[in-house]
């Protein structure tokens, strides 16, 4: 098969591992920079060009779309879909997962346990918003933040007021979320591929840091999920329509609570923590899907 990885940097760990895994299984692997793709739309003849050359002959794509270029990256994925090319992440699922508020609404409708979350376009009464999530301490998140950027812990009511006022002054959209104290600055990521959890790790934030993101200095160790955690992860990925997903959960006294579902989860942390060949599992997913 001829498989394209939509990635802006062929040297990234995840991109390199997918190329290696695909070539090892006998496939032709090509890295395409989605921002260097041109979309041509005409009657019943969708076309794509990469650096001026027409893109043809691909059986599947693996989108690795960064959050900052979701709009254009999704348009490229959608064009491949119109060209009848299989994608490991469908364009609509990508859009749903990148909209934090929308994804939480979808997960809520699916009956998935979540931290209590409040969102409003009217922020002249921050006390009411803070009270709705159980009062301080509370977590305040930018809707467009990634990798822990734009996520703050407000430990007091006055601190929450200050943060909300600052974001309001920047015309930034934020949501206020319940703080799960018993998680102790850690979360669990379950890596889902084609309806199966293929690896899981526990990420612990560095001392004094409530965010557990590896990009912010957190550490990762392999973990065996409870049955409830595994079922929650699978249900969350299915609710958002994601064939590949990194489901981030907090371990609370009320069971696992899903914080976020990542549609382009990195491979370095999960492969390093678990020792599993996650890239191979993704290639096998493509093979099963277009046999």
Nearest 5°: phi and psi at 217?
Answer: 95, 10
Nearest 5°: phi and psi at 46?
Answer: -70, 135
| CA angle, residues 93, 24, 283, in degrees to nearest 5 | 15
DSSP string across 49-106: EETTEEP---SEEEE---GGGHHHHHHHHHHHHHTT-EESS-HHHHHHHH-HHHHHHH
Q: Position of tokens 């959960």?
A: 249
Q: What is the pTM of this model?
A: 0.88
> pLDDT value at position 21?
97
pLDDT less than 50: residues of the chain: none
> pLDDT value at position 170?
74
> pLDDT value at position 244?
97
> pLDDT value at position 203?
87
> pLDDT value at position 138?
87
d(Cα 218, Cα 207) in Å, to the nearest integer?
9
> pLDDT value at position 120?
73
CATH architecture, domain defined by 182-289: 2-Layer Sandwich (3.30)
Residue range 2-96, CATH number: 3.40.50.20
Q: What is the CA radius of gyration of the chain?
A: 20
For residue 269, give both structure tokens: 């942390």
For residue 116, give both structure tokens: 């209590």
- Top CATH class, 117-179: alpha beta
Give the residue extent of every domain in the chain: 2-96, 117-179, 182-289
Q: In 114-226, which residue ranges form alpha helices assigned H by DSSP?
A: 126-132, 157-169
d(Cα 88, Cα 60) in Å, to the nearest integer?
8
Tell me: the pLDDT tens digits for 73-128?
999 999 999 999 999 999 999 999 998 889 999 999 999 999 999 887 656 667 77
Please check whether residue 3 is in contact with residue 10, taking contact to mean a CB–CB distance below 8 angstroms.
no
């Amino acid at each position: 098969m001829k498989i394209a990885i939509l990635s802006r940097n062929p040297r990234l760990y995840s991109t390199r591992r997918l190329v290696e895994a695909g070539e090892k299984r006998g496939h032709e692997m090509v890295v395409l920079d989605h921002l260097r793709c041109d979309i041509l739309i005409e009657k019943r003849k969708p076309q794509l060009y990469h650096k001026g050359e027409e893109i043809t002959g691909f059986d599947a794509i693996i989108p690795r779309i960064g959050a900052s270029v979701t709009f254009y990256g999704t348009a490229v994925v959608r064009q491949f879909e119109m060209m009848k090319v299989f994608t490991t992440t469908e364009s609509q699922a990508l859009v749903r997962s990148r909209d934090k508020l929308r994804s939480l609404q979808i997960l809520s409708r699916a009956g998935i346990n979540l931290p209590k979350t409040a969102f409003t376009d009217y922020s002249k009464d921050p006390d009411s918003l803070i009270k709705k999530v159980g009062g301080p301490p509370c977590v305040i998140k930018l809707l467009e933040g990634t990798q822990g950027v734009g996520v703050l812990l407000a430990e007091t009511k006055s601190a929450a007021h200050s943060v909300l006022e600052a974001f309001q002054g920047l015309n930034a959209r934020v949501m206020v979320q319940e703080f799960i104290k018993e998680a102790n600055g850690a979360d669990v990521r379950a890596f889902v591929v084609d309806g199966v959890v293929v690896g899981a790790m526990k990420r612990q934030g560095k001392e004094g840091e409530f965010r557990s993101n590896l990009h912010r200095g957190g550490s990762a160790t392999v973990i065996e999920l409870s049955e409830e955690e595994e079922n929650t992860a699978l249900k969350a990925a299915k609710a958002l329509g994601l064939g590949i997903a990194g489901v981030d959960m907090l371990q609370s006294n009320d069971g696992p609570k899903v914080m976020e579902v990542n549609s382009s989860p990195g491979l370095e942390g999960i492969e390093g923590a678990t020792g599993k060949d996650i890239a191979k599992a993704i290639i096998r997913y493509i093979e099963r899907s277009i046999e």
